[in-house]
């Protein structure tokens, strides 16, 4: 099946979803910082690790960073990662990570279009499920995900290694 990307949703003539490129790295880092729960984070000055990561993501199968662009400005992003499960007959599962929309654009529908584009990409890959985690402090995000058909079915755990 041919890819549906870049995806231009019917909701706005000036909104487009596309794969991120290395030139987008400064905006991606700004979006991540703008969505951080810790306002004391220092701004990044060395963007090369992000560019390296984006290149690796672009080269990997079932891996993508999608951006939402309005009038040629990146205003949203998410990462989509696919991985095989031993369960579900070795089926492909997709996970949404790093979903961020510029603070003054939240509520404009951009996040919804971006999330649905990620789901569409996972479907193109043949994934049987899309999943995500969201910080317990993000009540608005939880309501957003629920309106897009996600259910809070599990409790997530993390262990930092560094």
The answer to whether residue 5 sits within a structural domain is no
The H or E element spanning position 50 is: helix 48-59
Q: Which domain holds residue 29?
A: 15-147
| Percent of the chain residues topping a pLDDT of 90 | 73
Domain-embedded: residue 156? no
Note the pLDDT of residue 1. Answer: 39
> Is position 33 within any domain?
yes
Is residue 153 included in any domain, yes or no? no
Convert the pLDDT of each residue in 62-84 to its tens digit.
999 999 999 999 999 999 999 99
For residues 40 and 34, what is the distance between their CA atoms, to the nearest angstrom? 11
Q: Is 28 left (phi over 0), alpha (psi -120 to 50) or beta?
A: alpha
Give a yes or no: residue 73 inside a domain: yes
How many whole angstroms separate alpha carbon 65 and alpha carbon 79?
Answer: 4
Tokens at 117, concatenated: 């584009």
77 within some domain: yes
pLDDT range class, residue 107, cuts 50, 70, 90: confident
- As a whole number of Å, the CA-based R_g of the chain is 16
Task: Kindly report the average pLDDT of the chain as a whole number.
Answer: 89
53 three-class SS: helix
Q: Domain total for the chain?
A: 1
Q: Give the mean model confidence (pLDDT) for residues 82-98.
A: 94
> What CATH number should be reported for the domain holding residue 96?
3.40.630.30
DSSP-assigned letters across all residues of 99-137: EEE-GGGTTSSHHHHHHHHHHHHHHHHT-SEEEE---TT
When pLDDT is averaged across residues 39-55 and rounded to a whole number, the result is: 85
- The answer as to whether 104 is a domain residue is yes
What band does 11 get if pLDDT is binned at 50, 70 and 90? low
What is the pLDDT at residue 63? 98
Nearest to 119 by CA among 99, 94, 144: 94
Residue 152 lies in a domain: no
């Amino acid at each position: 099946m041919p890819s549906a990307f870049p995806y231009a949703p019917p909701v706005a003539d000036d909104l487009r979803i596309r794969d991120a490129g290395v030139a987008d790295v400064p905006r991606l880092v700004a979006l991540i910082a703008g969505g951080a729960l810790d306002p004391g984070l220092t701004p990044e000055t060395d963007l090369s690790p992000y560019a390296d990561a984006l290149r690796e993501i672009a080269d990997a199968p079932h891996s993508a960073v999608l951006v939402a662009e309005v009038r040629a400005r990146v205003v949203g992003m998410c990462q989509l990662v696919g991985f095989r499960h031993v369960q579900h007959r070795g089926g492909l599962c997709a996970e949404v990570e790093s979903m961020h929309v510029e603070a003054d654009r939240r509520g404009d529908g951009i996040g919804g279009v971006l999330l649905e584009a990620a789901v569409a990409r996972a479907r193109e890959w043949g994934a049987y499920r899309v999943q995500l985690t969201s910080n317990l402090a993000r009540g608005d995000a939880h309501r957003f995900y629920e309106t897009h058909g996600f259910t809070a079915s599990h409790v997530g755990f993390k262990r930092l290694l560094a």
